[in-house]
Each structure stands twice: as C-alpha cells, then as structure tokens.
Amino acid sequence: MDTPPLPASDSSDTVAARLAAVQARIAAAVAAAGRPAGAVQLVAVSKTHLAAAVEEALAAGQVAFGENRVQEAAGKFPALRAGHPGLRLHIIGGLQTNKVRDAVRLADVIESLDRPRLADALAAAIDAEGRAPALLIQVNTGDEPQKAGIGTEAADGFIAACRVRFGPALRGLMCIPPADGDPAPHFRLLAAMAARHGLKTVSMGMSGDYHLAIAAGATHVRVGSAIFGVRPAVA
C-alpha cells in the first residue's frame, strides 16, 4: 500500500502563525514576571530573509524589525516603509564608521553603539542628516574578546559620556550574552546597569532565551528564527 502524501504545508508553518505564537509566549512571560501587559515589545529580526517575509509579518500587525547589516536594510526597507509608514527599523549589528551616515538616514533605532569613535561618527552623522535615531549602547556583558559591545569595566563611563552627548536620544542598553552557559546573570547585569543610569530601554533576549530576558526586565526582545524560520547558513 502506498503511504499517503504529506501535506504540502502545515497551518502553523507561516510567519503569521509563528508570530502569534511568539507574541503569546511573550505575554505569558510578562504575566509570569508580574509585569504589566504590553511591557515588552517584539523586534522581529528579519536579517537574511526576503522583503516578502517582512510583508507577511507587517500584514499580521508586526511593526518593529531588526536588521544587522546596514546595506541589507538599505536594500529592503525603503520600499517597505513607503507602504507601511508606521514601520520601525532597528539596526542591531556591529556598525562600521563608514556605514554610520546610511544607518542614521535609515534607522529608527540603532542598538549597537559600543565605542567612543562610533559615538563621534554618530554625532557627526546626526548633525549632517538633521535626524537622530534612538540609540542603545551595546554592552559586552561577558567581556568576550571576539564580541562587539563596550566592556563591563568601561561601560559606566561610556554610558555617562553618551548621556551628556546625545541627551534624550540615548534610550537604553542592549546585550548578546555568551552563546554557552546561563544567560540570566547577563540579563540581570544589563537591567541593573540601565536602572543605575536611569535608562528605560533594555534590549535583550533572542529566540532561545527571550522568556528569561523578560523575567530579568527586558523591554525589547529581538526574535528572528522563531518567527521567520532558520536562516540560510552564511557563506
């Protein structure tokens, strides 16, 4: 006897369905932490995925998207924004100083401010463009040599200097904990650092650990593969 054909697709296997599942899990984590409904915003990380996938998420009500490369964002987002004026683009990846001007022109939020030279370049680009995206400082909470982010020793001084320099455009902090080990202590460290500086935005938590980040006080979680599926391997 022939085996029956597999269904071509499963109704849970769409961007809209995965987005709804992530939103439900965020709401459950917020409630479990005793935090008010709506305390956490979802940034859907669309890097490497086509504009059509972003369109699916927009149609399902998602407004904030994260991209880690300025060039890729510049190719995808101006056309998407034209059709969806409420769209908010977060640049979440390491920023080279020669891409800063484009980033300031494109982004609503830049989450990867992590060194004095980049602060200089951002200040110059904000002046030149007459436009100031919201800024988050990326902290290398694990002090990993290969990773972006200001080190924990230098972080307090850098945050204080950026508050003076950027004023209200500086909104908060972002981190990517070490890949191995428990991320919770890193999440708690970042939330405490933000509170110490009176900064409201705490961007932390990805597909594998956003529930833990929400328990530790995240205001923004950056979730990619749980919404858009596995990314093609980078060549």
Ligand X SMILES: *Cc1c(COP(=O)(O)O)cnc(C)c1O
The distance of closest approach from Cβ of residue 6 to ligand X in the complex, given in angstroms and rounded to an integer, is 26
223 scored as a contact of ligand X (CB under 6 A): yes
Which SS3 state, helix, strand or coil, does residue 146 take? coil
Give the end-to-end CA distance of the chain in Å, rounded to a whole number.
Answer: 43
Written as six digits, the tokens of 152 are: 């924990």
177 scored as a contact of ligand X (CB under 6 A): no
DSSP-derived pairing of the beta strands 150-151 and 134-140: parallel
Of 36 and 88, nearer to ligand X (C-beta) is 88
Written as six digits, the tokens of 8 are: 């071509």
Tokens 């369905």 found at:
17
The single residue among 116, 206, 211, 229 that binds ligand X, judged by CB under 6 A, is 206
218 scored as a contact of ligand X (CB under 6 A): no
> Per DSSP, what are the bridge partners of residue 172?
136, 201
CA distance 54 to 65: 8
Of 157 and 231, nearer to ligand X (C-beta) is 231
The distance of closest approach from Cβ of residue 45 to ligand X in the complex, given in angstroms and rounded to an integer, is 4
The single residue among 46, 62, 68, 219 that binds ligand X, judged by CB under 6 A, is 68
Point out which span in 71-79, 127-135, 153-161, 200-208 binds ligand X (CB under 6 A).
200-208
Query: Total binding residues for ligand X by CB under 6 A?
Result: 14
CA distance 66 to 167: 23
47 scored as a contact of ligand X (CB under 6 A): yes
The single residue among 100, 176, 190, 214 that binds ligand X, judged by CB under 6 A, is 176
Per-position x/- string for 2-41, each x denoting binding to ligand X as judged by CB under 6 A, each - no binding: ----------------------------------------
Q: Which residue is nearest to ligand X (CB)?
A: 224
CB contact at 8 A, 174 and 150: no
SS (H, E, C) 60-95: CCCCEEEECCHHHHHHHHHHHHHHCCCCEEEECCCC
Q: Kindly list the residues in this chain that would bind ligand X in the complex (CB under 6 A).
A: 45, 47, 68, 92-93, 176, 206-208, 222-226
